[in-house]
Amino acid sequence: MGGLPRRLVVGSLWLTALALLLCADAAAAAAEGTAGVVSVDARRAIASTDEDFVCATLDWWPPEKCDYGTCSWGHAGLLNLDLSNKILLNAVRAFSPLKLRLGGTLQDKVVYGAGDSGQPCKPFLKGNGSELFGFTQACLPQRRWDELNAFFQKSGATIVFGLNALNGRVRLPDGSMGGDWDISNAASFIRYTVSKGYKIHGWELGNELSGTGVGVRIGSGQYAKDVVALKSEVDKIYQGNASSSKPLVIAPGGFFDRGWFKDLLVKTKPNMLNAVTHHIYNLGPGVDTHLIEKILKPSVLDGMASTFRNLQGLLKSTGTSAVAWVGEAGGAYNSGHHLVTDAFVFSFWFLDQLGMSAKYDTKTYCRQTFIGGNYGMLNTSTFEPNPDYYSALLWHRLMGTKVLATKFSGTNKIRAYAHCTKRSPGITLLLINLGGNTTNHVSVTSEGAATKHGRKVRHVVGFAQGAGAMREEYHLTPKGGNIQSQVMVLNGKELATDAAGNIPRLEPVKVDAAQHIAVAPHSIVFAHIPHFHAPACS
């Protein structure tokens, strides 16, 4: 049969249908669905993020890591990941750059083969029941570190490395780990890294040892002392090194505990610590059969706001120069849940997390994982991107560093966030429809400030420009309308890599700016509005 391929025809028909829907008048729109209004205050930014706000993790887990009878890691760990895979390389390159955090539970059982240990470099082995975290100590060989850095340089990744914070500790009577951190192996590893010219954005100390810890903990006073030791060592090693800028010192990579975090910040202020990292698994265990219900429930999503708000307040009140990062966020712990945390439905949670955390001045958000487990942005076996990869890539390309105050009036099933658009005029609006039954027809207004008799008067004005003004929309839906699908559909076209492993182009549909934004049931829309009057973005 001649003519266009069937997929292109279907995509074209979908776009035509979308255009017809958007061109319906306001009365027809209200009759066909629910109307809502997004108000964006673009006079000033309420917060800011790093340019490379979206970050992802690479973990240490070996193939023998299993949860609830399922072994979901395969060869996705740092010691065995296939660095020659074309999709992997292209998936990282597409971000230009992607910030990668190397770490996880087993990082505190890794020693570094930096040429001075005199010990053979052994892999992780499954331990007996008494082995901390279930595996024996392992070693990162110099050769593997060289291979990883060759990949990072080729892909343009920005690297944060999580150091072993348990080296040299002794267990105290209260169950915590005490004694000063033995920095010698880490220092040797850092010196080797510098000698090879490998660029490291940040050195992070420890993983989930804060507060009550996960498996084991360290007191905040001791942790602060060790952070100061790491800062001193980094300053010394990088002093006078013109070829490499000094990396950040980051900690503690654990769950937020206000008292513990406050003590750490007070004892490392004003500038011993550059970023304070916390982890997020607010949906509970991966085995939970109610994960989808939680993801689609606004009150559950709203529950994380208090953590972001409390940490933001703590950073302001303690006088530290440290900024907030989410260092690891997989949503559901113990490797996530297949066909939930690696499916379309998880983009509701993930994008909402990005939007919410940014509002509270979080500078970087690291998703667990880039690949590995059941929450990877890439499929562990095929390396094919899961839906969240495309959600992350669109955020990275569209949402700039300046965060704008945004309010939605209408159903509580719509989540709305707005940023100045990255490297383009105007704003980008993110709309997430948690509801599965109703199309929402959303109008956008600008909350501005006019002057009357010398006094400022707040008012709301429409954003629509003159005839011919257009905006760009990216409508994300699941294949077949099934939110547990692992195939993302953009503007009617299924997204998949080609035979050469290339990431597909993410093309918008152009829409008359005077029309409502149609947010279909269980869908996500990024809308770039270039003509929006946004003083904050100039």
Tokens 């829907």: give the residue. 21
Q: Terminus-to-terminus CA distance in the chain, angstroms?
A: 52
Closest CA to 535 of 11, 204, 43, 13: 43
Cβ 389 vs Cβ 377: under 8 Å: yes
Q: Which of 51, 147, 204, 208 is catalytic?
A: 208
CB of 117 closer than 8 Å to CB of 182: no
Q: Give per-residue burial for 257-287: e unless 16+ CB within 10 Å, then b.
A: beebbebbbebbeeebbbbbbbbbbbbeebe
428 touches 58 (CB < 8 A): no
Element of type H or E holding 30:
helix 26-32
Q: Which residue has the tokens 């991966």?
A: 286
Q: What token pair was written down for 506?
A: 């993410």
What element of type H or E holds 455? strand 455-462
Please check whether residue 323 is in contact with residue 286, taking contact to mean a CB–CB distance below 8 angstroms: no
492, 7 in Cβ contact below 8 A? no
Q: Say how far apart CA 112 and CA 2 lie, in whole Å.
A: 60
**Beta strands of 484-523 (E only): which ranges?**
488-490, 493-494, 509-512, 517-519
Q: Give catalytic status of residue 208 as yes or no.
A: yes
CA dihedral 515, 434, 344, 516 (to 10 degrees): 0
Task: State how far the alpha carbon of 223 is from the alpha carbons of 96, 106, 175, 403, in Å.
Answer: 34, 18, 15, 33
- Residue 441 tokens read as 């027809």
Is residue 507 part of the annotated active site? The answer reads no
Per-residue tokens: 452: 């009357």
CA distances from 287 to 24, 254, 282, 369 (A): 45, 22, 14, 18
How far apart are the C-alpha atoms of 348 and 295, rounded to whole Å? 7
Active-site residue, selected from the candidate residues 204, 233, 328, 472: 328
Q: Catalytic positions, please?
A: 208, 328
